[in-house]
Amino acid sequence: MNQLEALKQFTTVVADTGDFKQISAYQPQDATTNPSLILKAVQKPEYAPLLSAAVAQHRGRALDEVMDHLLVRFGCEILSLIPGRVSTEVDARLSFDTAASVARGQRLIAMYQAQGIAKERILIKVASTWEGIQAAAQLEQAGIHTNLTLLFSFCQAVACGQAQVQLISPFVGRIYDWYKKSAGAAWVEADMAGANDPGVQSVKQIYNYYKHHGIATEVMGASFRNAGQITALAGCDLLTISPELLASLAASEEPLHASLHAPAALAMDIAAVQFDEAGFRFALNEDAMATEKLAEGIRAFCVDAVKLEKLLLAA
């Protein structure tokens, strides 16, 4: 049994890509996309027709609407290849606008439904800002499930649990990146690998907190830099993995054992935490890594959204 097969015994495997032609080989349950992944995909010749078709079919509509039609087209193609759900992201430029995020999420769902896709197969991705979490809470109350992305801190996870969102995506690799850069020459890769990886530790803390307190929100580790981060989180609810790292896992036959266990979390002594808006903003501010990576992530997604819009305009 290779490591990918072994991982599927403990964890729901999700493909993190806009390149849906790569998905079938790994038979994931779900898939995730984001503006950067879609941008990367549409620049490949085999996906150019999807972009051209979105523009031709919706010419004259507002650019943001054409963009959403393109995202939904990719989502529909992905859903034809997987049994589960696809995550489609709300424009990152709305990350601090609750009402606009809700409206955009509702529009994406309506577009999917117009293509015959049930809303249960869609997760609307929203940034884990305070405003994004409140938007997700409203969408969940309306029966639209959400995936809270760009999540780097415990306070973000707690607020998402309070909002009863369907799923969160803690970004393992970007947490690792920040601590490695911060440490500079003092960083010793071997000492900070596996269970000692700061991104892995963040996900474990969140997972144990949720399981201990009976929080139903699913935990999906994301943004991996190496296979060791993935194998160290075997047992997590879900892990969303790039095609390159899925291939790495499929090529390895090293033994793999679950390291996260819900029964073990129940036995832990973990105090409950609550955050109102002021408390959330202060806790996030106190976490330099999370503050910087959240802002950086939003900016990067916004840049790629603009690039994608330029491709639509040029088509």
Residue spans of alpha helices (H) in the chain: 3-10, 35-42, 48-57, 63-79, 98-114, 130-141, 154-162, 172-183, 198-212, 227-231, 243-250, 262-266, 277-286, 288-314
Residues in Cβ contact with 36 at an 8 Å cutoff, skipping those fewer than 6 apart:
300, 301, 304
Residues in Cβ contact with 23 at an 8 Å cutoff, skipping those fewer than 6 apart:
15, 17, 31, 78, 81, 82, 243
What is the residue whose two structure tokens read 């990367």? 40
Catalytic residue chosen out of the listed positions 40, 44, 125, 180: 125
293 counts as catalytic: no
Residue spans of alpha helices (H) in 16-62: 35-42, 48-57
C-beta of residue 230 within 8 angstroms of C-beta of residue 222: no
C-beta of residue 162 within 8 angstroms of C-beta of residue 274: yes
- Closest Cα to residue 36, out of 197, 156, 149, 165? 149
C-beta of residue 111 within 8 angstroms of C-beta of residue 72: yes
From residue 289, alpha-carbon distances to 124, 229, 275, 300 in Å are 25, 18, 19, 16
The four Cα atoms 259, 182, 227, 16 give a dihedral, to 10 degrees, of 100
Cβ count within 10 A of residue 119: 17
Residues with catalytic roles: 125
